[in-house]
Amino acid sequence: MKCFYFPGPERDDGGSRVPRIPWSRSLSMASGGGESRRSDTEPAMDWRREDGLRAFGFAELKSATRGFSRSLIIGEGGFGCVYRGVVNVPQQGDDGAKTMDVAVKQLNRNGQQGHKEWITEVNFLGIVKHPNLVNLVGYCAEDDERGIQRLLVYELMANRSLEDHLLGRISSKLSWPIRLKIALDAAHGLAFLHEEMDFQLIFRDFKTSNILLDEHFNAKLSDFGLARHGPAEGIGHISTSVVGTVGYAAPEYVQTGRLTAKSDVWSFGVVLYELITGRRSLDRNLPRSEQKLLDWVKPYATDPKKLHLVIDPRLEGQYCTKSARKLVALANKCLMKQPKSRPRMSEVVVMLEHIIEMPNGKTIPAVINGSPSATQDDTESTVNAKERSSFRSRVFELREIIRLRKVDWPVMKLARTL
């Protein structure tokens, strides 16, 4: 999925340029400008950190990733490549050190925008901790004969991204209860950014590739490079450069550059439909009428009798129809045309908790050997496509036998005896 970036000055509701807002006392980020050279409006950083982040040397990270081997790449994007690596973690009161699996993101040296995103991530994740936000272990900032070196070191998320699972890059399939749990975890993360901090943060690039899963399939948000301070109290929105990923960005933001927390809520609605259908928000490999996910699901999502036609076939019918309808209704609320009509993320959290606690959906399955196990709750409410298909097949075969033998009794009477 391609990202887009339309540079432009950031302005508040009154049309004046938005000043820089510090993340903390010693750290600051600049509001977006499109300049390609360093200036007074660039992000600045004080290296005297008291946030627990570790400053890595470039040589150490190069060794940890075996010279940034292509075989260790676990992700790639506009920022650069992400490598799997192993670093030593010093232990207090012990001469030895233990090792830790990490993900090392290396900045693409081309372009100033990547440097700003790097600063944003260090500044934000260095001071904010939450169970549903990825943990930043440390960073690297060195200049050598090859130029500027900027890297970020995160905890390694064993089950990679939600996108990897939905696109089939990983063999294990996500059961319906696990999908609900991922949605709830991601909602908790966004609600924290929007409503639970001293300042509001708008993610701006919420999508399946930025939802990472640990060994227990707990979901954590990652990649805060495009995150932006929300509007000040009493101001409805901020006008800023339009950035994000095609297929996820809210229409009012793309058309006008007006950014609010409800822009993230729209993106969350898109991700809910991806969880429901197993499809990407935009897929050029599908027939033209099915390429745009929201356009494709529209005629089915409003008709409960047709809803099963858009449910991810990899679920093989193992899902709760009642919770599926509720989840579609929630996605539609998040995708309301008017931003003010969309729910806040704290309200989304409550609605998701009610969906999960519904009969046949209240039990989240245990993860066995790193793979989510599907649960079988109440078969009367759970669609079992395989059994229905088998029944129809037996009835069809019986009809053929009756036709061939010219037996003169009702087919349905025999069908009932099966």
pLDDT one-digit tens code per residue, 140-168: 988 766 677 899 999 999 999 999 999 87
| 27: pLDDT strictly greater than 90 | no
Element (H, E) at 181: helix 176-195
Query: What DSSP character marks residue 365?
Result: P
23 or 395: which carries more pLDDT confidence? 395
Q: Judge if 198 and 99 occupy the same domain.
A: no
Q: What is the pLDDT of residue 148?
A: 79
Tokens of 4: 């887009």
User: Is residue 4 in a domain?
Assistant: no
Tokens of 214: 């640990």
Q: Judge if 217 and 359 occupy the same domain.
A: yes
Show Cβ contacts of residue 88 under 8 Å, excluding neighbours closer than 6 positions: 97, 98, 99, 100
Give per-residue pLDDT as tens, 57-75: 999 999 999 999 999 999 8
The whole-angstrom separation of Cα 277 and Cα 298 is 12
Average pLDDT score, the chain: 77
The whole-angstrom separation of Cα 278 and Cα 97 is 42
The residue out of 110, 127, 156 marking a domain boundary is 156
The whole-angstrom separation of Cα 294 and Cα 126 is 36
Residue numbers of the domain that contains 400: 392-416
User: Is residue 385 in a domain?
Assistant: no
Tokens of 375: 């649960």
User: Is residue 382 in a domain?
Assistant: no
Name the residues annotated as catalytic.
205
CATH number at residue 224: 1.10.510.10
- Mean local confidence (pLDDT), 96-111: 81
Q: Judge if 209 and 113 occupy the same domain.
A: no
| % of residues, the chain, pLDDT over 70 | 69
- Mean local confidence (pLDDT), 308-334: 95
Q: How many beta carbons lie within 10 A of that of residue 171, not counting itself?
A: 7
Q: How many beta carbons lie within 10 A of that of residue 392, not counting itself?
A: 11
Tokens of 246: 């095609």
Tokens of 41: 């409006």
| 111: pLDDT strictly greater than 80 | no
Annotated ligand binding at 105? The verdict is: yes
Q: Judge if 190 and 264 occupy the same domain.
A: yes
| 36: pLDDT strictly greater than 80 | no
Q: What is the pLDDT of residue 246?
A: 86
Instruction: Report the number of distinct structural domains present in the chain.
Output: 3
